[in-house]
Structure 1
Amino acid sequence: MVKAYVHDDKDSVDAREAHDTGIPVSLERLEKLGVIYKYLKTQEEVEQLAKERQYKNQDTVNIQLSTFNNDEKLFNDKLSIFYEEHLHEDEEIRYCLEGTGYFDIRDSQNNEWLRCKVDPGDLLIVPAGIYHRFALDTSNYIKALRLFKDEPKWEAINKSDSADKSNIRIEYLNSIV
């Protein structure tokens, strides 16, 4: 089961650290924000969910230093991009196969960051239009299955790029009222 809690907002500390305030976040709180969590033991369960939700495509992403030819600068630059507060026009669906990572979800009701630690078997569905970010943990490794409704795409709209005014953000906020 995913471990979810309020993030401590200590930006001076490495994003890969736990940042755990000790304040737990329930699955119900995440659901009110449109975030869906499932623990799936097998690939067959993942395929069944994909069929039910009409996900047509998938790929696997492997994030570790060796993926970036052991170039630490390139690796850290990519991690910085993942950690910038952003949203997407499509759902972000991730199933953790190996390793560990953190999805931080911005609670639009009170502006808190909610941190979800994902381990193998954890699947998160992050709705379109919600602010979020991603960080590895200190092991610096995750292998995840990415599921897509249509053609695979991953375009982030950073908050700093006026994402608040995007149609998808406005639609998202209206959906959780």
Structure 2
Amino acid sequence: MVRVWFMDNKTSDQRLEHQFDPPEFLSVEELFNNTGVEYFKINVPTCDSDGVLAEIRNNRGYSYEDEITCSKECLPDYANKLKSFFTEHLHTDEEIRFVLDGSGYFDVRNGKDDRWIRIEVVAGDMIIIPSGIYHRFTLDSKDFIRAKRYFVGEPVWLPYNRPVDDMPCRKEYLKKMKSGFAA
């Protein structure tokens, strides 16, 4: 099962698993209610034949997919790429990641008090980060993740670094946060 917890705002060691002792864990439901981030558990060995992933893709209109591998060996300009992934940003489209192998951390801001929530992802985890939410990504100490990325239409992969609170997608996200996220 995916692990989710509150972090402090320090960024001195982005790969540090827990920055509170003990960590303040959240359930998947609390994650969704606080952020709108959706979580699915998918069986990697059977994902092409069991219909679960196909149903999610069909219901959400994902028409394009690609695969990314983040590791020192596979990612050009590795150190700078990881630094850019860890810079707090948002996107105008939702961000969908299905982890096929490896592990890492997605951090998202909660809506109430802007605290970081860390989401540990491992093989079989699929998360959908809503458009307009501030977030960031880093690898854990294993330095490896392989994931599928899904898009509606042609991919638009442009991060907007914080602060960009006047963007329409950010305003829409804040509106949804106030009224409550609907599954």
TM-score normalised by structure 1 residue count: 0.91
| Alpha-carbon offset, residue 150 of structure 1 | 1.1
Aligned counterpart, 2:181: none
Aligned counterpart, 2:3: 3
Whole-Å Cα distance in 1 between the matches of residues 108 and 79 of structure 2? Answer: 21
Matched, 1:53 2:60: yes
Q: Structure 1, residues 11-51: CA drift from partner, whole Å, max 9, x if none?
A: 222x1221342100121222122110010113232222111
Aligned counterpart, 2:47: 43
Q: Structure 1, residues 102-124: CA drift from partner, whole Å, max 9, x if none?
A: 00010121111000000000000
SS across alignment from 1:110: coil
Contact 2:111-2:177 at 8 Å conserved across structures? no
How much identity, in percent, do the aligned residues show? Answer: 38
Whole-Å Cα distance in 2 between the matches of residues 87 and 148 of structure 1? Answer: 15
Q: How many corresponding residue pairs?
A: 170
Whole-Å Cα distance in 1 between the matches of residues 140 and 15 of structure 2? Answer: 4
* Alignment-mate amino acid for residue 71 of structure 2: Q
Select the structure that is richer in helix. Answer: 1
Matched, 1:29 2:30: yes
Runs of 4+ residues over 2 Å off in structure 1: none
| Alpha-carbon offset, residue 141 of structure 1 | 0.4
Whole-Å Cα distance in 2 between the matches of residues 176 and 12 of structure 1? Answer: 29
| Alpha-carbon offset, residue 54 of structure 1 | 0.9
SS across alignment from 1:145: strand
Give the counterpart of 1:123 among 102, 126, 134.
126
Q: Structure 2: which 5+ residue stretches go unaligned?
A: 179-183
* Alignment-mate amino acid for residue 97 of structure 1: L
Q: Structure 1: which 5+ residue stretches go unaligned?
A: none
* Root mean square deviation, CA, Å: 1.2
* Alignment-mate amino acid for residue 125 of structure 2: D
TM-score normalised by structure 2 residue count: 0.89
